[in-house]
Amino acid sequence: MKKIISYNVNGIRAAINKGFADWLITENPDIVCIQETKAQPEQIDSALFESLGYFSYWFSANKKGYSGVGILCKEKPNHIEYGIGINKYDDEGRFIRADFGDTSIISVYHPSGSGGEIRQAFKMEWLSDFQKYVNKLKETRTKLILSGDYNICRLWIDIHNPEKQEQTSGFLPEEREWFQSFIDDGFIDTFREFNKNREHYSWWSYRAGARKRNKGWRIDYHIVTDSLLKQLSGASILSDVVHSDHCPVVLLIEM
């Protein structure tokens, strides 16, 4: 059984200063997919993670203090792939893949469209190209675990006050339509395999006491190919972990 965690840390150095390493020791995951490192590889204390028993791999944005993804793992991967081979996305450090035998684990950070029309258009372009890339990858890597911050609430039960949020980036009809088309291509939203209830969120605004009032969004996922269905053992959201405006999400899987 492997415990895989996905966590948008909103700055890896800030998270470390808030006790991320101590939490890692206690939680003891096998693999951690990290998003929004906001750091260059040389700014990240990889020796710290090595001392905790983890190999670490980082793919950063060209722009300092922005975006960036990483993978921590106790087992050394057979291969690491950085980016998807399209410069405008890879320049933002949004995708890193680690292969373990016949299974590939990906840490992905989908763009936010909340910065305005230009970034929303960029987000929609990324979603289309990401889907094409992953479907092509699936032809040779049939067991995929796509863990990360998707910046989209997939279902109405994944966001508070859905009726009032339909014109908000992250819950736009075209974003949810994309997500469903992605699932329909042969993928599973693992959390919803185990929990169909409302009010399970992974991100909360810092404003208006949103987290204390649980006025949140579920935008962090472990999406897996349906070939892995029988290997799934559990999924959960660690909403009490507070190094970030996001919280970690967990997948338990036989691999």
> Over the range 20-29, which residues count as b (16 or more CB within 10 Å of their CB) and which as e?
bbebbeeeeb
Kindly tell me if the per-residue pLDDT of 149 is higher than 90.
yes
Q: Clarify whether 30 is annotated catalytic.
A: no
Tokens of 119: 């970034």
φ/ψ of residue 98, rounded to 5: -120, 130
**Other CB atoms within 10 Å distance of the CB of residue 75:** 13
Confidence label for 115 from pLDDT (cuts 50, 70 and 90): confident
pLDDT digits (tens, 9 = 90+) for 4-53: 999 999 999 999 999 999 999 999 999 999 999 999 999 999 999 999 99
Distance from C-alpha of 11 to C-alpha of 47, rounded to nearest angstrom: 17
**CATH code of the domain occupying 2-253:** 3.60.10.10
pLDDT digits (tens, 9 = 90+) for 190-225: 999 999 999 999 999 998 889 999 999 999 999 999
| Helix orientation angle between 117-137 and 173-184, rounded to the nearest 10 degrees | 0
Q: Radius of gyration of the chain from Cα atoms?
A: 17
Listed by start position, the domains of the chain span: 2-253
pLDDT of residue 208: 83
Catalytic-labelled residue, pool 30, 149, 158, 189: 149
Distance from C-alpha of 5 to C-alpha of 148, rounded to nearest angstrom: 9
pTM for this structure?
A: 0.97
